[in-house]
Amino acid sequence: MFDLAIKRAHIVGESRVDYGNLYIKDGKFAALSSEELPARESVNADGRIVFPGGVDPHVHFNDPGLTAGEDFQTGSMAAVAGGITTVFEMPLTNPLTADEPSFLLKKGEASRKSVADFGLYLALTPDNCKSVGELMALEPIAFKAFMSYSPEIPMVKDGELLAGMRAIRAANSRIAVHCENNDIITFLTAQLKEAGRDGPRAYTESRPDYSEWEAVQRAVTLAKLAGVHLHVVHSSTPEGARIVAEARQQGHPISVETAQHFLFLDADDFERVGPFAQCNPPLRAPGNDDKLWEAMRNGQIDCVGTDHAPYTIEEKLRGNGSVWATPAGMNNIQSAIPLMIGEGIKREIPLTRLARLFATAPAQLFNVYPKKGAITIGGDADMFLFDPSEEWVVDPKLTFYKQKWTPFEGVKVSGRIKRTWVRGTVVYEDAAPMGRIVVEPGFGQFIPGRTGNAMFGIPGSDAA
């Protein structure tokens, strides 16, 4: 007897879409069959689509210390409502997640609040490079470094980054890097401020596309020297994606994600929306999105992440006086996957390819596959039921965000998530007016980071 049957569904596997019945036992995918098999509970999908639960490699839930903008409870609720069942949370909190006490503090908060399963990054800073080996006992999902200034985390210079990469390689882990050229940004920002420029166009000009892809090239070069698995985060440029793809073709374990907002918003939207569309790297020129979609289609971009980075409405409104006065980041996790699927279908991208981008590839890259990231027998039964025919309009008031804003307000979405499961348990149900979370905070489980990387043939511990 199975615990759950999802009947009459189009089931998105890794290589094909099957029509039939999906069965779950003890929180795991147990069978896929055209036959009616006995189960304690059944859900009639009525021909709708079952996708693997999303694995978001890049979220900021601000817990602990910066929770006015978001915390693990509200952020994870928005995630599962958006089909994301696993999140990897960034270390830019207070205190910075850079040592054992801060990591355990965050792990405790997330364990108490999250309704999604979660892994945690550790910051790589100029001060903790020598401690990487010891910190691996905490089982971080990866390390995170900034090549440019950020108010929440110290940037690392090239020599420090190389030393950190070598230490991470020795520990058989991986590093995610925010790639922007700090010197170029500092120089251009000073010029623009001196000229009295303080609007969205000035901000995009202060962080041109070449300031990003030059830093990607530098990070790739350092990663080749260190032999480390480098993951380039939220690439906004097709040039950066090509640099990574070329390195990977040469046999180096280097990967790249883009962020969903670069696929749907551009510099004109920044001008229209204002500071609520401000992010780093910034939104690019119209037409750049088409190039990123093509890079995803042809495999140059490995995966997507939301880079969900909330701030309070008051913090964002500072940018109405001067774009230099507001923090960069946006709320988008709840609508990101439905938007991506709807647009992907319009662009005739196969459903299997879309699922790989938002679920399978990030799970593989961060070595939590096949436990996470795919509808595969024996894997965790993380999934969501998707109705591609239902249209809706993004309304921030009807989200689980702690701060009820998003630059996607008013955007029409083709396709709606009807139900989300984590480990075979339903966690979200679509219901008027905004859906409901049907598990208690703390349902989510910590996902230990594993060494090595099966995708790149690097030996290490297997995903449990």
Contact in structure between 124 and 157 (CB atoms under 8 Å)? no
Mean pLDDT of the 404-428 span: 98
Average per-residue pLDDT for the chain: 97
Per-residue pLDDT, averaged over 393-415, amounts to 98
pLDDT at 461 > cutoff 80: no
**How many CA atoms does the CB half-sphere of 239 hold within 13 Å?**
12
Model confidence pLDDT, tens digit, residues 81-136: 999 999 999 999 999 999 999 999 999 999 999 999 999 999 999 999 899 999 99
Gap between the Cα atoms of 447 and 464, Å rounded: 9
Query: 4 pLDDT band (50/70/90 cuts)?
Result: very high
Enclosing domain of residue 115: 53-377
User: Residue 227 sits in a domain of what CATH number?
Assistant: 3.20.20.140
Is 114 inside any structural domain?
yes
Identify the band that residue 462 occupies on the pLDDT scale cut at 50, 70 and 90.
low
Positive/negative CA dihedral, 94, 97, 98, 99: positive
Asked whether residue 196 is domain-assigned, the answer is yes
Q: Kindly tell me if the per-residue pLDDT of 188 is higher than 80.
A: yes
Is residue 206 within 8 A of residue 192, CB to CB? The reply is: yes
CB 20 within 8 A of CB 4: no
Please tell me the pTM assigned to this model: 0.98
Residue 286 lies in a domain: yes
Burial of 316 (0-12, 13-18, 19+ CB in 10 A): buried
Asked whether residue 311 is domain-assigned, the answer is: yes
Percentage of residues of the chain with pLDDT beyond 70: 99
More confident residue, 261 or 454: 261
**CA–CA separation, 127 and 146 (whole Å):** 14
Residue 270 pLDDT exceeds 60: yes
**Would you say residue 418 lies in a domain?**
no
Domain count, the chain: 1
pLDDT, tens only, 343-397: 999 999 999 999 999 999 999 999 999 999 999 999 999 999 999 999 999 999 9
What pLDDT band is residue 432 in, cutting at 50, 70 and 90? confident
Residue 40 lies in a domain: no
Question: What mean pLDDT is predicted for residues 329-352?
Answer: 98
Q: Is residue 421 part of a domain?
A: no
Query: 33 in a domain, yes or no?
Result: no
